[in-house]
A and B are shown apart, each in its own frame.
Chain A
Amino acid sequence: MARYLKITLSFLMITALITACKKDSPVDEDGLLITFRQECFVSNFELLGSDFVSVRSKTAVIDTVAQTIDVEVLFGTDLKNVYPQFSLATDCKLDPKVVGKTDLSDLANPKTYTVVSGNRKIRKPYKLNIKFQ
């Protein structure tokens, strides 16, 4: 009887040790899961006006080597009140975050957005170049 009790207790202790040693899934400062992915690029870009309708006159050109996004906007676009939308590679995130209405009216000083890979080790800054139709 005592033997069975010892075996059961040992089994329970081993289980407790395994559970205790299990690491939590790593998350970053935004609470997002840090993965093993190294892909780091912008796959698509959209620019919406204050009425949430696209203000692009043609598809944005994304150069993942030069790390630039060239977008041509419609005549009369109010660039002080636009909503940029980035599509990123899986598990990536953007820095700075786009939290709403954005002012992109300073065409002489294009804004830079950095893509951060899923493993949070690779950072690629993309320059957003805007010109009018």
Chain B
Amino acid sequence: MLASMAACKKEVYKIPDPVSSLTNDCIKRTIGPNIVGLPIEFAYAMAIPKSQGKIVSAQVEASIAGAASTFLEHRSFYTNSGGVDIPVTIGTPSVNKGATTTVTYSIDTNAATLRYYYVIPEEARGKSVSFTFSATSSDGKTVNYKLGPYAISKMDIKRNLAVSNANNAYISIEDMAVYNNTTLGSLASKIDLVYLYRAAPTTFTHALVSPGSDPAYLPGVVLPSGMTKKTKVRKVFNLQDRNLANLQFGIYIDDKDFQDLSLVDAPNYAIGLRAEAGTWVETADGKYRAYIFINSINAAGSAVISILRYTL
């Protein structure tokens, strides 16, 4: 009886207190792994009742100073009826001083949402980064909001490398670069894969073959001396990493994928590659694992690739 009485007790809805002083909120907009050289995006919102004054400044302090291109927007965005984000300038462009990024307001406003782009520096690789967002109002009050820590990936990324048959064909995972006979110089021993295109057999087409592979998979290819590596390669389809695919798709490859990867029995060639296909790669010296994504292909014998690399 007592339980049913208690269960039936109605809770009266209480209208939340309106914001009576300077307040703030923040979200992390970026999902997926945090890769050195790429930004982590946040949206930092702050507001103060009009009667209390206006916002004077906003700042973010990172536990590890961001790369030089780190910035806090000096524009606040709102979304119009067409779904388009419209900027409204609220202050001067942000200034980076050490690990702190500051925007000073130049207009009289009591609410704004500023985007913060923390470009991950090399020093943060494999570490964690935390952030303290804060805002100051004209009545001398300050609020802050802490986010993190966020783990920074050990991965490296290189996007949109053009490869072509018998020209820019030599791929080095260590350098994350593509070479041709002219630019190769003395780097032949660094080459992990050779890109080639053969129209026949029809199943060959675009291929990534390690220099030390069976010559059957390097038809008509004369390799420069010193190019002998036997790199392990495994074909993959439907693994379009968002970062490699230029922000398309919703799949992310993370450190753990490379840690768990086993290419023990993988071949050292991948033929018949198509656009949006990819290959897992492990270098012959076991120093690196990588994922090479095929952004696009051209039937004339060229392709655009992107590389995500993990150092073991």
A, B in one complex: yes
Hey, which bits of chain A sit against chain B, CB under 8 A? 49-53, 57, 74-76, 78, 80-81, 103, 133
Could you show 5 A-B contacts with beta carbons less than 8 Å apart?
A50-B234, A50-B236, A76-B269, A78-B235, A133-B201
Within 8 A of A (CB), among B180-203: 201, 203
Contacts of B236 in A (CB 8 A): 50-51
B271 adjacent to chain A (CB < 8 Å) = yes
Contacts of B271 in A (CB 8 A): 75-76
Band of interface residues on B? 10 to 19
Cα-based distance from A48 to B235 in the complex (angstroms): 12
Instruction: Beyond A81-B234, A133-B201, list 18 extra A-B contacts (CB 8 Å).
Output: A50-B236, A51-B236, A51-B277, A52-B237, A52-B238, A57-B203, A74-B272, A75-B201, A75-B204, A75-B271, A76-B204, A76-B272, A78-B234, A78-B235, A80-B265, A81-B265, A103-B265, A133-B203
Ordered nearest first, which 6 A-B pairs have the shortest CB separation? A51-B237, A76-B271, A51-B235, A74-B203, A78-B267, A80-B265
Select one of B203, B234, B266, B277 contacting A76, CB under 8 A. Answer: B203
Select one of A52, A75, A80 contacting B267, CB under 8 A. Answer: A80
Q: In the complex, which residue of chain A has the Cβ closest to the Cβ of B239? A: A51
Asked if A75 and B203 sit within 8 Å, CB to CB, the answer is: yes
Nearest Cβ in chain A — how far from B189, in angstroms?
A: 26
Nearest Cβ in chain A — how far from B269, in angstroms?
A: 7
Nearest Cβ in chain A — how far from B217, in angstroms?
A: 7
Asked if B266 and A81 sit within 8 Å, CB to CB, the answer is: yes
Contacts of B234 in A (CB 8 A): 50, 78, 81
Contacts of A49 in B (CB 8 A): 235
Within 8 A of A (CB), among B234-250: 234-238
Nearest Cβ in chain A — how far from B37, in angstroms?
A: 29
Contacts of B235 in A (CB 8 A): 49-51, 78
Cα-based distance from A75 to B20 in the complex (angstroms): 73
Nearest Cβ in chain B — how far from A131, in angstroms?
A: 15
Cα-based distance from A76 to B266 in the complex (angstroms): 12
Cα-based distance from A80 to B262 in the complex (angstroms): 13
Asked if A53 and B237 sit within 8 Å, CB to CB, the answer is: yes
Cα-based distance from A50 to B237 in the complex (angstroms): 9
Q: In the complex, which residue of chain B has the Cβ closest to the Cβ of A52? A: B237
Q: In the complex, which residue of chain B has the Cβ closest to the Cβ of A74? A: B203
Q: In the complex, which residue of chain A has the Cβ closest to the Cβ of B269? A: A76
Cα-based distance from A53 to B236 in the complex (angstroms): 9
Contacts of A51 in B (CB 8 A): 235-238, 277
Contacts of B266 in A (CB 8 A): 50, 78, 81
